[in-house]
Amino acid sequence: AWKKHSAQGFTTKEEFENETVRHVETTLARSLFNCDELAAYSGASLAFRDRLVIEWNRTQQRQTFADQKRVYYLSLEFLMGRALDNAMLNVGLKDVARAGLKDLGFRIEDVISQEHDAALGNGGLGRLAACFLDSMATLNYPAWGYGLRYRYGIFKQEIVDGYQVEVPDYWLDFNPWEFPRHDITVDIQFYGHVSRHQDEDGKNIAVWEGGEIVDAVAFDVPIPGYSTPTTNNLRLWSSKASKGEFDFQKFNSGDYEASVGDQQRAETISAVLYPNDNLERGKELRLKQQYFWCAASLYDIVRRFKKSKKAWSAFPDMVAIQLNDTHPTLAIVELQRILVDLEGLDWTEAWDVVQKTFSYANHTVMPEALEKWSVPVMQNLLPRHLQIIYEVNSQFLHMVEKQFPKDRDMLRRVSIIEESQPQMVQMAYLATIGSHKVNGVAELHSDLIKTTIFKDFVKIYGPDKFTNVTNGITPRRWLHQANPRLSELIASKLGGYEFLTDLTKLNELEHFLDDKDFKKEWQEIKYANKVRLAQHIMNTTGVRVNPKALFDIQVKRIHEYKRQQLNILGVIHRYLTIKAMSAEERKKLAPRVSIFGGKAAPGYWMAKTVIHLVCSVGEVVNNDKDVGDLLKVIYIEDYNVSKAEIITPASDISEHISTAGTEASGTSNMKFVLNGGLIIGTCDGANIEITREVGESNIFLFGNLAEDVEDLRHAHTYGNFKLDPDLAKVFDAIKGGRFGDANRFSALCNSIIDQGDYYLVSDDFNSYIKTHALVDEAYKDQEAWLEKCITSVSRMGFFSSDRCIQEYAEMIWNVEPLVPEQRN
């Protein structure tokens, strides 16, 4: 209905050109004679931005007047990628822009690719937040995102001599998509001490005094929905030295350098995104980031609520706060502090408001990723918050003691304060106790958390507090934007683009499985997408790959649990097999390109070794004349959202091969299947639900099950274990120096051979190799392969983030959409 919704700003090609030129000449003060692609990008972005801004203001006004519940999505990561292409598609004016840019002498693709990715995230968790913003706006939910405006996003990865090198990602030079709100500045306090005072009624109140103040300045980013005027807000906080507080004192006393030092220390808070994915290191600056952002966001949310003059008991009817993992858990404590210390509510009354307001999504079961903060560190930085945590814990333990009077060990196990040296605050427990709902992100994961970390909490609260919301992805970016030709082909068959807002409509594609022309075009599109990726590989690595070969892709953060090592060891096995084949046998083999990509956390040595092994194997294999097109091994540098948009549409098969029970959900698995690729994967995360939807015959599953992992690990530790013989040959080749200095890989090999093989690479190796042989066989029958791909796409409707957001809205947030009135 909102296909081309009306708004001020351009609607025709000519108007778009005028606006773009005006911005180039006046806003950017550049002459049209030296208007390069970057200037064209800037001008076009500003033209689109003008359009967004108008709807953005209207949306905010509408939401204020509607006086209904809003969602606040708190995430330390928003992995947005590029904004211009997305804005063009969502507003429905990409064709207009394409024609206009062409008149001005530009190809739209070149202009779009000028944009620097907004890379304020590590991986899955951050990208999920970005997909959710898209869905919330598209479904017209009144929703805000709150995050940090890092000066440096995730580092840029360079591969130098086969090693990862990290380069800072300074992305803010020119960012037309953010609006500084210097008038929206919040004072954030750190350190200091707590004293007790009597108020007028003789009530004892805590006062947090002293310490230092840092300013939080708001920067707003418009989030346009697809084919709707709703344009939501993402508010990112930036840290700045507080004017009022300290610098004048020092400045006046002549200590100019110290004053500049203070300034820089304040700005450090929002300087850099921590590049760890699934690893918690307990750094104080990270805790400062967390409090800075939670306190600023809560101040903002509370201020907005107070304007309504409603009673505090109505707060949860107006506000739902979603915690993206435990990173924003301090928001729970901060709201309790505001209500009790500043607004004078009774503890119990306040805590009731808090619990009704918050909900918490868990994204990992990996023990090393669970957030714990040292009590002494928290005592020093946030003395009042630690007191509140103690009080919350004490009341909680009392309740548990009444419920389970004879179970002393239960109290020890569920205490928010872990009795270690030093004591630690367990954030996942605090988040659970302070929320009304806790969810996992895929069925298996939600089951696992109920039987592991939250087992006791299920007994205490009952099972209804714990639920599942299987992740999803936005079909706008991950189909329409990344794969425009496939989207267009689908639209031509389904009679329009409704599937982009109701992905279950893809079902109807199954009616075209006998349509020869349709299938031919489908195949041509996949081939064109592979040619495009081959071109990118040629340009960036100099390696020529055959687009007719089977493209086998694994792109994601490098982590032992995701088992890129299993993949590369399998590739080596394939290489050794090819080397041992006769020329006749080689002719029967399907050519392959094994493509890897992803960043390793800078301090994660094992992950860096895996990258080095992939590159070293590529060096040997790609230059081996015996092998030719039969096998190529590629490492794509600096995998990010915009690269994913090129890579995802180009897979024949992609790898999602984590040790069963370790990958909470995975979301790239969904992206690849939605783009007509098949999956080789383990029974883990969302792979299980993808199998349920597409059918067992359309996915290549292998490996041990989550329920067997414990026993298998036990067998490794207690000697009852023999290395897989094929894998042993692979290790012999590595140790024999076939891929360069074997010493570089000894820690990696040993982790599998004699260090317990925690991720069960050896246990799954045989089944992995056999399954790859099945993939080879299946690929030879192109007709049947194509049918699997089309059938799979038609059954992917469930994995839209729209479905996912609707589940959150109905089961957890209890919010309604606010559908704008049609204008003419």
Helices 84-91 & 94-103, crossing angle to 10 degrees? 120
Active-site annotation holder among 556, 573, 632, 716: 556
280 near ligand 26M (CB under 6 A): yes
Active-site annotation holder among 235, 671, 772, 795: 671
Any catalytic annotation for residue 182?
A: no
Any catalytic annotation for residue 587?
A: no
- Tell me how far apart the alpha carbons of residues 157 and 117 are, in angstroms, rounded to a whole number: 14
Measured from the CB atom, the residue of 93 and 365 that comes closer to ligand 26M is 365
3-state DSSP assignment of residue 662: coil
CB of 716 to ligand 26M, least distance (A): 24
Query: What is the x/- site pattern for ligand 26M, positions 546-585, by CB under 6 A?
Result: ----------------------------------------
Among the listed ranges 60-68, 455-463, 607-615, 664-672, the one in contact with ligand 26M (CB under 6 A) is 664-672
- Tell me how far apart the alpha carbons of residues 560 and 820 are, in angstroms, rounded to a whole number: 47
Among the listed ranges 122-130, 211-219, 412-420, 638-646, the one in contact with ligand 26M (CB under 6 A) is 122-130
666 near ligand 26M (CB under 6 A): yes
Measured from the CB atom, the residue of 572 and 664 that comes closer to ligand 26M is 664
Q: Are strands 550-555 and 466-468 parallel, antiparallel or unpaired?
A: unpaired
Q: Which of residues 764-783 bind ligand 26M (CB under 6 A)?
A: none
Residue from the set 242, 667, 698, 794 that interacts with ligand 26M by CB under 6 A? 667
CB of 793 to ligand 26M, least distance (A): 20
- Tell me how far apart the alpha carbons of residues 208 and 227 are, in angstroms, rounded to a whole number: 48
User: How crowded is residue 369: how many other Cβ atoms within 10 Å of its Cβ?
Assistant: 18
DSSP per-residue codes, 196-214: EEE-TTS-EEEEEE-SEEE
CB of 129 to ligand 26M, least distance (A): 9
Q: What is the dihedral of CA 416, 421, 422, 426, to 10 degrees?
A: -20
> CA nearest 639: which of 561, 568, 555?
555
Q: Which residues contact 33 (CB under 8 A, 6 or more apart)?
A: none
CB of 538 to ligand 26M, least distance (A): 31
Q: 749-767 burial, b for 16+ CB within 10 Å, e for fewer?
A: bebbbeeebebbbbbbbee
CB of 256 to ligand 26M, least distance (A): 35
Residue from the set 120, 338, 664, 790 that interacts with ligand 26M by CB under 6 A? 664
3-state DSSP assignment of residue 117: coil
- Tell me how far apart the alpha carbons of residues 428 and 329 are, in angstroms, rounded to a whole number: 8
> CA nearest 382: which of 292, 302, 280, 298?
292
- Residue 372, strand partner residues: 426
Measured from the CB atom, the residue of 127 and 519 that comes closer to ligand 26M is 127
CB of 278 to ligand 26M, least distance (A): 5
Among the listed ranges 15-23, 488-496, 647-655, 661-669, the one in contact with ligand 26M (CB under 6 A) is 661-669
CB of 592 to ligand 26M, least distance (A): 26
Give the C-alpha distances (Å, rounded to integers) separating 412 from 399, 424, 503: 14, 13, 47
> CA nearest 144: which of 86, 78, 195, 97?
78
Active-site annotation holder among 138, 228, 474, 667: 667
Residue from the set 75, 122, 565, 751 that interacts with ligand 26M by CB under 6 A? 122
CB of 124 to ligand 26M, least distance (A): 3
Q: Which residues contact 104 (CB under 8 A, 6 or more apart)?
A: 17, 20, 21, 35, 40
User: How crowded is residue 770: how many other Cβ atoms within 10 Å of its Cβ?
Assistant: 12
- Evaluate whether 111 touches 85 at the Cβ level (below 8 Å): no
Structural tokens at position 382 = 């946030």
Q: Which of residues 260-279 bind ligand 26M (CB under 6 A)?
A: 274, 276-278
Quote the radius of gyration of the chain (alpha carbons, Å). 27
Q: Are strands 358-361 and 193-198 parallel, antiparallel or unpaired?
A: unpaired
Among the listed ranges 63-71, 119-127, 564-572, 637-645, the one in contact with ligand 26M (CB under 6 A) is 119-127
3-state DSSP assignment of residue 241: strand
Q: Which of residues 719-758 bind ligand 26M (CB under 6 A)?
A: none
Task: Give, rounded to a whole angstrom, the gap between the first and last alpha carbons of the chain.
Answer: 11
Q: Which of residues 434-473 bind ligand 26M (CB under 6 A)?
A: 441, 471
Measured from the CB atom, the residue of 545 and 660 that comes closer to ligand 26M is 660
Number of residues that bind ligand 26M (CB under 6 A): 23
Any catalytic annotation for residue 556?
A: yes
Residue nearest ligand 26M, Cβ-based = 124
Where is 700: in which H helix or E strand? strand 700-701
- Evaluate whether 323 touches 371 at the Cβ level (below 8 Å): no
Active-site annotation holder among 149, 437, 557, 559: 557
Angle at CA of residue 124, ends 119 and 129, nearest 5°: 70
Active-site annotation holder among 384, 450, 476, 562: 562
Where is 531: in which H helix or E strand? helix 516-541
CB of 359 to ligand 26M, least distance (A): 15
288 near ligand 26M (CB under 6 A): no
Measured from the CB atom, the residue of 125 and 769 that comes closer to ligand 26M is 125
3-state DSSP assignment of residue 668: helix
- Evaluate whether 671 touches 478 at the Cβ level (below 8 Å): yes
Among the listed ranges 121-129, 452-460, 536-544, 752-760, the one in contact with ligand 26M (CB under 6 A) is 121-129
Any catalytic annotation for residue 608?
A: no
Any catalytic annotation for residue 505?
A: no
CB of 364 to ligand 26M, least distance (A): 5
Measured from the CB atom, the residue of 353 and 444 that comes closer to ligand 26M is 444
CB of 166 to ligand 26M, least distance (A): 15
Measured from the CB atom, the residue of 123 and 570 that comes closer to ligand 26M is 123
Q: Omega before 422 cis (within 30°)?
A: yes
- Evaluate whether 362 touches 325 at the Cβ level (below 8 Å): yes
Among the listed ranges 124-132, 314-322, 474-482, 721-729, the one in contact with ligand 26M (CB under 6 A) is 124-132
DSSP per-residue codes, 625-667: TTTGGGEEEEEESS--HHHHHHHGGG-SEEEE-PPTT--S--S
Measured from the CB atom, the residue of 760 and 790 that comes closer to ligand 26M is 760
CB of 362 to ligand 26M, least distance (A): 9
Measured from the CB atom, the residue of 354 and 369 that comes closer to ligand 26M is 369
Q: Which of residues 348-407 bind ligand 26M (CB under 6 A)?
A: 363-364, 369
Measured from the CB atom, the residue of 50 and 447 that comes closer to ligand 26M is 447
Query: What is the x/- site pattern for ligand 26M, positions 673-712, by CB under 6 A?
Result: ------------x---------------------------
Any catalytic annotation for residue 307?
A: no
Where is 635: in which H helix or E strand? strand 631-636
Write the DSSP symbol of residue 32. Answer: G
Convert 585-629 into a string of H (helix), E (strand) and C (coil). HHHCCCCEEEEEECCCCCCCHHHHHHHHHHHHHHHHHCCCCCCHH
Residue from the set 9, 124, 434, 681 that interacts with ligand 26M by CB under 6 A? 124
Q: Which residue, chain included where needed, has tokens 């984590």?
A: 658
Measured from the CB atom, the residue of 509 and 812 that comes closer to ligand 26M is 812
Active-site annotation holder among 62, 98, 156, 363: 363
Give the C-alpha distances (Å, rounded to integers) separating 167 from 157, 175, 240, 445: 6, 20, 24, 34
CB of 413 to ligand 26M, least distance (A): 23
Active site residues: 363, 556-557, 562, 667, 671
Binding site residues, ligand 26M, CB under 6 A: 122-125, 128, 274, 276-278, 280-281, 286, 363-364, 369, 441, 471, 663-667, 685
